């Protein structure tokens, strides 16, 4: 097999407007900023990847501007001239030289796998052992910040059939107001529609105990990360105490987190995200830990655009144990896109692109249009 080198790595910061403000416990988003990675190889193949955060630094340790700097200054020189064929070898090299920086590593691994898939004519899922599905269930997050608007949005989406399950973001307002908001929406959409609630760490354990009791009474189907991510034992106590499933999200970032949480029983569901985990291969490792521990899996999002969402979908499609479906709706939250063909959604699912690599390509005019000047 002829060797192929990485010639250069380019990063571009892109700002895309959202269709409406997106209210989270830690931020209100009116646009999404993504760092797009273009990895050029000596055989003319280009791999693409995406590093995206939620509301700059409000979710995690990495910011779009910082991620661009890390790639340009530290990662690109390490990759330049290296053989492009083995993502595992290159990711091991990065782990040796660069601590943490998981979002960035996920974007780089995505670009490496995309390039290799395009090179040999197979999908990224195929490189990861093969897909078990061509579609993934995708719920929608109601987060306009207004109960009436959220109910209207839910009814329109149910009528249209695009989504069949919803997630509600709470934690910004006092618990009483938040719970009334959730209960009103659950009642409006009906008992048969799955409604989950994400508190994004906003509650103390004592408040969570009272809040979850009421959410359970309102018929909520799952509670996501009610307390701070570092409180593994608290998550375990809540998981044991309630019938409603408790999902770990922020708490289960790395492979090591997954192991430690599984050991104490912190959560009956894990929300996995390629950015938190530092890449697609690590998602499979976390999924194996969860499977061994009898913990269900949910395919999470960092509200990535199409590239990051498709990268997530490629690895999620290889997991037979994705019991709780996914939230890969990021591209639908944006008014426009930077890829040639937009991903198709309908009937409650996302259709995973089936071409080589990620199965998508950048539309460079669009990248230029939304590139931060
Ligand atoms: Mg979450």
CA distance 209 to 229: 16
pLDDT tier, 145 (very low <50, low <70, confident <90, very high otherwise): confident
pLDDT > 70: what percent of the chain?
100
Name residue 298's beta-bridge partners. Answer: 271
**For residues 281-307, average pLDDT:** 98
Exactly one of 105, 167, 169, 273 is catalytic; which is it?
169
How far is the centre of ligand 1, averaged over its atoms, from the C-alpha of 8 (Å)?
34
Residues 53, 59, 65, 70, CA torsion sign: negative
How far is the centre of ligand 1, averaged over its atoms, from the C-alpha of 16 (Å)?
21
How far is the centre of ligand 1, averaged over its atoms, from the C-alpha of 201 (Å)?
9
**For residues 63-76, average pLDDT:** 97
pLDDT at residue 25 in the model: 81
Higher pLDDT, 270 or 26: 270
Q: How many CA atoms does the CB half-sphere of 122 hold within 13 Å?
A: 11
Question: 169 an active-site residue?
Answer: yes
pLDDT tier, 60 (very low <50, low <70, confident <90, very high otherwise): confident
pLDDT digit string, tens, across residues 158-175: 999 999 999 999 999 999
pLDDT at residue 232 in the model: 98
pLDDT tier, 127 (very low <50, low <70, confident <90, very high otherwise): very high
Alpha-carbon 100 to chain mean position: 18
Cα–Cα–Cα angle for 311, 314, 318, nearest 5°? 145
Task: Report the chain's terminal Cα–Cα distance, integer Å.
Answer: 41
CA distance 187 to 198: 18
pLDDT at residue 59 in the model: 83
> Which residue's structure tokens are 């999620």?
316
How far is the centre of ligand 1, averaged over its atoms, from the C-alpha of 226 (Å)?
9
Instruction: Name the residue ranges covered by the structural domains of the chain.
Output: 6-121+363-370, 127-351
pLDDT at residue 351 in the model: 98
pLDDT at residue 68 in the model: 98
pLDDT tier, 44 (very low <50, low <70, confident <90, very high otherwise): very high
Helical axes 205-217 vs 232-241, angle rounded to 10°: 30
Identical fold for domains 6-121+363-370 and 127-351, yes or no, is no
In this structure, the dihedral spanned by the alpha carbons of residues 300, 304, 307 and 311, taken in order and rounded to 10 degrees, is -20
How far is the centre of ligand 1, averaged over its atoms, from the C-alpha of 109 (Å)?
23
pLDDT at residue 24 in the model: 83
**For residues 112-127, average pLDDT:** 98
pLDDT tier, 34 (very low <50, low <70, confident <90, very high otherwise): very high
Q: For residue 179, is pLDDT > 90? A: yes
CATH architecture classification, 127-351: Alpha-Beta Barrel (3.20)
Q: Specify the fold of 6-121+363-370.
A: Enolase-like; domain 1 (3.30.390)
Q: For residue 1, is pLDDT > 80? A: no
Q: How many CA atoms does the CB half-sphere of 247 hold within 13 Å?
A: 24
């Amino acid at each position: 097999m002829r060797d192929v080198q990485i010639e250069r790595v380019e990063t571009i910061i892109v700002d895309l407007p959202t269709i409406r403000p997106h209210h989270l416990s830690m931020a209100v988003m009116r646009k999404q900023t993504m760092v797009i990675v273009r990895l050029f190889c000596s055989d003319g193949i280009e791999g693409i990847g995406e590093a995206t955060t939620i509301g700059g630094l409000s979710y995690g340790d990495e910011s779009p501007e910082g991620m661009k700097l890390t790639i340009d200054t530290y990662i690109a020189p390490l990759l330049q001239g290296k053989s492009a064929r083995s993502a595992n070898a290159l990711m091991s090299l990065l782990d040796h030289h660069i601590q943490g920086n998981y979002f960035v590593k996920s974007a780089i691994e995505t670009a490496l796998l995309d390039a290799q898939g395009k090179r040999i004519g197979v999908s990224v899922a195929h490189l990861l052992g093969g897909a078990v599905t061509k579609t993934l269930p995708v719920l929608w997050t109601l987060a306009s910040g207004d109960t009436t608007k959220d109910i209207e949005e839910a009814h329109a989406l149910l009528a249209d059939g695009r989504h069949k399950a919803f997630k509600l973001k709470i934690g910004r307002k006092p618990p009483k107001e938040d719970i009334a908001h959730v209960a009103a929406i659950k009642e409006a959409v009906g008992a048969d529609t799955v409604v989950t609630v994400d508190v994004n760490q906003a509650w103390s354990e004592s408040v969570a105990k009272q809040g979850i009791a009421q959410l359970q009474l309102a018929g909520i189907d799952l509670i996501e990360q009610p307390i701070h991510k570092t409180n593994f034992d608290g998550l375990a106590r809540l998981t044991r105490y309630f019938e409603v499933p408790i999902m770990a999200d922020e708490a289960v970032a790395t492979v090591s987190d997954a192991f430690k949480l599984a050991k104490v029983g912190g959560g009956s569901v894990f929300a996995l995200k390629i950015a938190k985990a530092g890449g697609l291969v690590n998602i499979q490792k976390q999924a194996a830990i969860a499977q061994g521990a009898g913990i269900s899996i949910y395919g999470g999002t960092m509200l990535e655009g199409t590239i990051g969402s498709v990268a997530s979908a490629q690895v999620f499609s290889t997991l037979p144990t994705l019991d709780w479906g996914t939230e890969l709706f990021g591209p639908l939250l944006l008014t426009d896109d930077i890829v040639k063909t937009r991903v198709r959604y309908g009937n409650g699912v996302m259709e995973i692109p089936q071409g080589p690599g990620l199965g998508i390509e950048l539309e460079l005019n669009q990248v230029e249009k939304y590139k931060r000047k």
